[in-house]
Chains A and B, each alone.
Chain A
């Protein structure tokens, strides 16, 4: 098993603490089926590496939306070689909560340092980590250039709630110097879990933006859903985007009364012709 990133430095009173959903993402992204999928899609599949006859393999750009503590993107970045079959992977994160951005940056740094300190003693395997570009504060995919994302990871605010919390704006949490009040903290945490009707109000917006933000032909997304989110309907919606769109459940946990409590849906475009 690949080690889970250390998040002991994170202030969990205002940043979502890693929980069952986070760990399901780690398990799924490092599972045999998903590493096989990602390796075949992003080129690091065989033992021969990047500089073979075919030339270079475009490094995938992996973005987590709403990383919270950074445990998931920290894991993906640190174990890029295992997951993608290459360490030529660029990673980044976007969170509305500025404290989550600083927490994520530190989690990513620590996790990558841990990997390189444990692998350096053994024979010179290439350091397994990707390259983290940074964490930015923003609303879902809004700051991203169209068609730029190869792998999007989203653990949404999926809990059904009567109302959606007010979405933060530029004037919120501008610096991390002022100590947040208890109310501020509760508000920040509510953004990490409260999903409005069916727990889907934020996820629906993100899914509607996938066609624009994912890289044509290469892009894919991993989205976590709970049973109340009506995952079958979500998958149907994605398949309705066009004949090339696919959506399948690729990880799940916690059966409850016959229902999977949590699941990871992989969304991707089926166009295997790499030369097109």
Chain B
């Protein structure tokens, strides 16, 4: 699963949904792999408005990536800054989480990621 997925996922426990702690989920013991993909700047520019930037910053830092700027780059900034474009491309498009856990900051439940697939099915006591 691409790192970008974490921008769209939350804890599956109903009571956690409305809490701020349930998003983003926190990667733990993450094993990452890198695909080698061509940079598609148009795609990146179109993805930017869809991204929750603070959540992405948290994810990037927790996965050991260099910290992102406090504010999301504007379209013009991104077009003018090839390094930032490359870095974002690398983080969002090329990096996949293959193994590890995704932890809810609210209830502490850990969702296992195996072979690149996260398991969000809940144990009986949390359903």
- Also in contact, A139 and B120, with CB within 8 A (given A50-B46, A88-B43): yes
B9 touches A136 (CB 8 A): yes
| A189–chain B nearest beta-carbon distance, Å | 18
Contact between A169 and B121 (Cβ–Cβ < 8 Å)? yes
Contact B46 A88 (CB under 8 A): yes
A61–B119 Cα distance when bound, in Å, is: 20
**Given the complex, which residues of A lie within 8 Å of B36, measured CB to CB?**
none
Q: Provide the bound-state CA to CA distance between A101 and B118, in Å.
A: 10
- What residue of chain A has the Cβ atom nearest to residue B49's Cβ? A58
The smallest beta-carbon distance between B17 and chain A, in angstroms, is 7
Partner pick for A145 among B1, B8, B117, B122, CB 8 A cutoff = B8
Is A144 among interface residues, defined by CB-CB distance under 8 A?
A: yes
CB distance from B62 to the nearest CB of A (A): 17
Whether B60 is near chain A, meaning CB under 8 Å from some CB there, is no
Closest to B124 in A: A169
A105–B5 alpha-carbon span in the complex (Å): 14
* Complex alpha-carbon distance, A50 and B96, angstroms: 26
Contacts of A88 in B (CB 8 A): 42-43, 46-47
Interface size on B, residues (CB 8 A): 36
Query: Binding site of B, secondary structure by majority: helix, strand, loop or mixed?
Result: mixed
Q: Does A22 contact B (CB under 8 A)?
A: no
| A55 proximal to B (CB < 8 A) | yes
B2 part of interface (Cβ distance < 8 Å): yes
Chain A contacts for B112, CB-based, 8 A: 174
Please state if B42 and A50 are interface contacts (CB–CB under 8 Å).
Answer: yes
A168 CA to B127 CA in the complex, in Å?
Answer: 10
Q: Which residue of B lies closest to A145 (CB)?
A: B10
Residue B12 is within 8 A (CB to CB) of chain A in the complex: yes
Q: Mark B30-43, 1 if CB is under 8 A from A, else 0.
A: 00000000000011
Contact across chains for B8 and A148 when beta carbons are under 8 A apart:
yes
Contact A170 B122 (CB under 8 A): yes
C-alpha spacing A176/B96, complex, angstroms: 19
Is A79 positioned at the interface, with any CB of B under 8 Å from its CB?
A: no
Q: Which residues of A contact B5 (CB under 8 A)?
A: 92, 133-134, 136
Which B11-38 residues have a C-beta within 8 angstroms of A?
Answer: 12, 14, 17, 23
Q: Are B42 and A51 in contact (CB under 8 A)?
A: yes
B105 at the interface (CB under 8 A from A): no
Is there a chain A Cβ closer than 8 Å to B115's Cβ?
A: yes
Is B121 within 8 A of A87, CB to CB? no
Chain B residues lying within 8 Å of A28, measured Cβ to Cβ, are: none
Query: Given the interface contacts A92-B8, A134-B5, does A56 sit within 8 Å of B121 by beta carbon?
Result: no
Residue of A50, A57, A136 near B120 (CB, 8 A) is A136
Distance (Å) between the CB of B118 and the closest chain A CB? 5
Q: Are B118 and A136 in contact (CB under 8 A)?
A: yes
Top 7 A-B residue pairs of the complex, sorted by shortest distance between their CB atoms? A134-B1, A138-B120, A88-B46, A143-B120, A142-B12, A58-B49, A59-B46
A133 and B121: CB pair below 8 A? no
